[in-house]
Amino acid sequence: MSHHLLSTLRVVVLLGLYLAGAALSLHLIHAPGEVALFWPASGLAFAVVLRYGLRWWWFVPVGNLLMHGLLDPVAWNFLPFSVFSNALGVIAGAWLVQRHANMPRLSVAYGLTILEGGLLLAAISGLIGAVGLYVAGLSNLLQMPVNFLRWALGDALSVAAITPIALQLLMRERARSPVLRNADYGALRERVIWALLMLAAFIAVITGARIESPFILGLTAVPLALLLWSAMRLPPIWTAAGVALMVFVMTIAIASNVGSFVQPTHLRDIVILLVFLSLLAIAPLLLALGNHERRLAQRSLLRRALTDTLTGLPNRTAFEDALRTQIDRMQQQPGHSSAGQCALVYFDLDHFTLINDTASHQAGDALIKGVASLIRAHLPASDAVFRIGGDEFAALLDDCDESGARTRVQGVLSIIERYRLAWHGLVLNTSASAGIAMFGVQAGGYSSLLAQADAACFTAKEMGGNRLCVASAGPGEMRSRTEAMRWAVRIRTGLDDDQFELYCQDIVSSTALVQRGRHFETLLRLNPGGPLLMPGDFIPAAERFRLGVQIDRHVVAMVLRWFDNHPDALADVDTCAINLTAGSLMNEDFARFVDSQLRGSRMAPEQLCFEITETSAVHDLARARAFIQQMRALGCRFALDDFGTGFSSFAYLRSLDVDYIKIDGSFVRDLEGSPMSGSVVRSITDIAHVLNKRTIAEHAETESICATLRAMGVDYLQGHALHRPEPIGQYFAYEPRTGQRASV
């Protein structure tokens, strides 16, 4: 249907309603020149002009002329007054209201503004109408005040009763923001009950009015009570409809002299009746608008609490609520087919920190917004999308099997990979990894499902990123995928509750009979209240979840604090070696942390030796060199641990300014049975001496291996054949530079 045809149809319908309201009022007038108690056409005309603007001013005179031409022929000298009384009143009232056009349409302030405009409409219309009746000879001069009040109050009652419902119905044509939903109000069952009770109340009022009793009019309080109920519990349009119906019924009953309802004849009675009816209409409407505003504010606050401000997507809190609701809904559907499965998807952008580091955080935010739009646009509207972290998104895919989930998610990954963002001369792009966890009627708990999706996403990232991984429901595979996550939790608990303990193991010179002081390596143990856990158990998980730097900080602080509390033991220390994870080499703040710790410690920087692995050093050789230079500037020494396992170990050895080279234990253990291992150990030792560096052979487990290592010229030995690790307190309970325990 064309827009022009719709506009024409709208005009015809509105004019028809205007004439219907006028016909009802004319039917209730008993004598020529009499003014109706209620003129609903004015309230409708006021709503039309408020809705469509002052350009619709013509609606009132056209409707009025049609009314007089079809329903109420009048004298020619009264017709201009009749037309202008309605037209000028509506235009003036609408002008007053539209001065506050920025107000929310369903608010108490806007309702009071409409009331102000209605009073201006009533005053102008009543004045012109009363003058017109006098000029046309339909009333005398003494009747003018009475006609003015009746005309004005009739229009005011029309505005109070008809304008709100007409305006809300007309405003429904606009696209409405779904800020408030039906769920914010009473349920359908409550609305049906209310409507039936309201109908029963009107029937009771009309029926009861025929009973000759001075108290029967107390029944009019029943509709009022029901209107207050609707104002508290139902949308404002229900209250507006109830108010309009109540005023229609009561004015018709009064004008028709139904039983105890008698039309007033004295001015005082007319004023009291019309003011009473107007207040009866206004009070529930204002209460309904007030409650609507309160609900709106609550919904707005809730929306803010559940919405990510950058992307506009629901946030993590909304995601958790939605996932729990979906799980509950699925579990309440026994016999649900497999086709009704749902999928939880985790998306994690790959290497996103590079965008923030190289282009700025503003560029990162712009990229996040773009990716969020892509995900939302690509997935069906039935799928819910959330932003749950800095560069992490989640989605709940509704009613899909594993194959369908793979197809949808792979499509998302493809469009993210192709996405390009122009930013101040740069072209930014990224990719994403995704983990999928399927669930249905037999879905596990909320935490289990999260763990599955998170573990699958981590697996996808570890496989190189820009791919997806589906979590297996098999308990064995899930245990292996989530074990690292459990370790991360245990590590955080260990850091918070100080569950880490320091052990020490001697590093012994292969030539000197007596060392100047203790040279040892500090080893870390985790004591969660049961068996001690070794670094090999938790360090891989710590590095995977980026907890290595926190552990290294904790160990450095523990070592310095222990020696600050035991200055006698510190006097016997030549070299204290501390292992560092790969993350600390890449962390610019770690060097500053060590510097600040040493400034307040008794331990001299020269007594510290940091051990870094060959693998972590070559991962980013430039950063490793910069870190070593910073630490050496403080006075600390360095050892290159696990040397010999890399592909090009000797090629970069000259670039790393270290004091010690620790030969990887795999070569030392195989020394007696593998000629190649012997050649590697001998080569490392010879090259280290050429570079003026000293070698340490770890895992020297037998006396024969120790003898072989000494013969090869290795400088230091470390292993169970020489000393087994022991707690730091026990380690320093020996007499300095001897093998005897101190007497206690």
- Asked if residue 176 has pLDDT above 60, the reply is no
Q: Please tell me whether residues 419 and 468 are part of one structural domain.
A: yes
Q: Please tell me whether residues 161 and 125 are part of one structural domain.
A: yes
**Among candidate residues 363, 366, 396, the one with its CA nearest the CA of residue 381:** 396
- Asked if residue 33 has pLDDT above 70, the reply is no
Average pLDDT over residues 556-573: 94
Residue 329 pLDDT: 80
Per the CB < 8 A criterion, the answer to whether 387 and 315 are in contact is yes
- Asked if residue 124 has pLDDT above 70, the reply is yes
Domain contains 490: no
Among the candidates 277, 305, 333, a domain finishes at: 305
Q: Which domain holds residue 37?
A: 10-175
Amino acid, res. 625: R
Q: How far is it, in rounded angstroms, from Cα 457 to Cα 437? A: 10
Average pLDDT over residues 610-639: 87
Name which of 131-145, 209-223, 631-645 the model is least confident about.
209-223
Higher-pLDDT residue of 593, 642:
593
Q: Please tell me whether residues 62 and 85 are part of one structural domain.
A: yes
Average pLDDT over residues 593-614: 92
Q: Please tell me whether residues 169 and 188 are part of one structural domain.
A: no
Among the candidates 107, 140, 175, a domain finishes at: 175
Residue 549 pLDDT: 92
pLDDT tens, position by position, 257-289: 766 667 777 778 778 888 888 888 899 999 999
- Asked if residue 655 has pLDDT above 50, the reply is yes
Q: Which residue has the tokens 């998306």?
A: 347
Distances, alpha carbon 78 to alpha carbons 33, 65, 73, 82, in Å: 10, 12, 10, 6
CATH of the domain at 405: 3.30.70.270
CA 702 to chain centre: 61
Count of structural domains, the chain:
4
**Among candidate residues 121, 153, 155, 151, the one with its CA nearest the CA of residue 133:** 151
Angle at 166 between CA 164 and CA 168, to 5 degrees: 65
Q: What single string gives the DSSP state of each residue in 154-181?
A: HHHHHHHHTHHHHHHHHHTTSPPPTTS-
The answer for residues whose C-beta is within 8 angstroms of residue 353's C-beta and 6 or more apart is: none
CATH of the domain at 138: 1.10.1760.20
**Among candidate residues 64, 69, 7, the one with its CA nearest the CA of residue 41:** 64
Confidence band (pLDDT; 50, 70, 90) for 477? very low
Q: Please tell me whether residues 375 and 409 are part of one structural domain.
A: yes
Name which of 91-100, 101-110, 609-618, 690-699 the model is least confident about.
101-110
Confidence band (pLDDT; 50, 70, 90) for 205? confident
Residue 178 pLDDT: 45
Domain contains 62: yes
Domain contains 521: yes
The neighbour count for residue 48, using CB atoms within 10 Å, is 26
pLDDT tens, position by position, 73-119: 888 888 889 888 989 999 999 999 988 767 777 888 888 999 999 99
**Among candidate residues 85, 71, 98, 96, the one with its CA nearest the CA of residue 15:** 71
Q: Please tell me whether residues 61 and 95 are part of one structural domain.
A: yes
Helices (H) and strands (E) in the chain, counts: 29, 17
CATH of the domain at 648: 3.20.20.450
The neighbour count for residue 437, using CB atoms within 10 Å, is 27
Average pLDDT over residues 674-697: 91
The whole-chain average pLDDT of the chain stands at: 84
Average pLDDT over residues 697-726: 93
Residue 724 pLDDT: 93
Residue 357 pLDDT: 80
Name which of 175-184, 452-461, 516-525, 639-648 the model is least confident about.
175-184
Q: Please tell me whether residues 157 and 266 are part of one structural domain.
A: no
Q: How far is it, in rounded angstroms, from Cα 323 to Cα 451? A: 13
The answer for residues whose C-beta is within 8 angstroms of residue 724's C-beta and 6 or more apart is: 505
Q: Please tell me whether residues 261 and 370 are part of one structural domain.
A: no
Distances, alpha carbon 108 to alpha carbons 118, 163, 192, 280, 624, in Å: 15, 15, 26, 16, 67
Q: Please tell me whether residues 534 and 659 are part of one structural domain.
A: yes
- 522: alpha, beta or left? (left if phi > 0; alpha if psi -120 to 50): beta
Distances, alpha carbon 302 to alpha carbons 125, 295, 299, in Å: 46, 10, 5
Domain contains 193: yes
Q: How far is it, in rounded angstroms, from Cα 580 to Cα 637? A: 13
Higher-pLDDT residue of 4, 565:
565
Domain contains 479: no
- Asked if residue 336 has pLDDT above 60, the reply is no
- 405: alpha, beta or left? (left if phi > 0; alpha if psi -120 to 50): alpha
Pairing of strands 500-506, 468-470: unpaired
- Asked if residue 173 has pLDDT above 90, the reply is no
Per the CB < 8 A criterion, the answer to whether 349 and 432 are in contact is yes
Among the candidates 274, 305, 336, a domain finishes at: 305
Q: Please tell me whether residues 512 and 570 are part of one structural domain.
A: yes
Percent above pLDDT 90 for the chain: 38
The neighbour count for residue 381, using CB atoms within 10 Å, is 7
Percent above pLDDT 70 for the chain: 88
Domain contains 372: yes
Domain contains 482: no
Q: Please tell me whether residues 169 and 191 are part of one structural domain.
A: no
**Among candidate residues 693, 623, 620, 685, the one with its CA nearest the CA of residue 654:** 693
- Asked if residue 647 has pLDDT above 50, the reply is no
Average pLDDT over residues 185-197: 89
- Asked if residue 738 has pLDDT above 50, the reply is no
- Asked if residue 735 has pLDDT above 60, the reply is no
Distances, alpha carbon 734 to alpha carbons 147, 490, 531, 569, 744, in Å: 115, 33, 26, 10, 11
Residue 34 pLDDT: 67
Q: Please tell me whether residues 236 and 260 are part of one structural domain.
A: yes
Average pLDDT over residues 661-690: 89
Residue 216 pLDDT: 59
Domain contains 2: no
pLDDT tens, position by position, 498-544: 899 999 999 999 886 656 789 999 999 998 887 888 888 888 878 77
Per the CB < 8 A criterion, the answer to whether 578 and 609 are in contact is yes
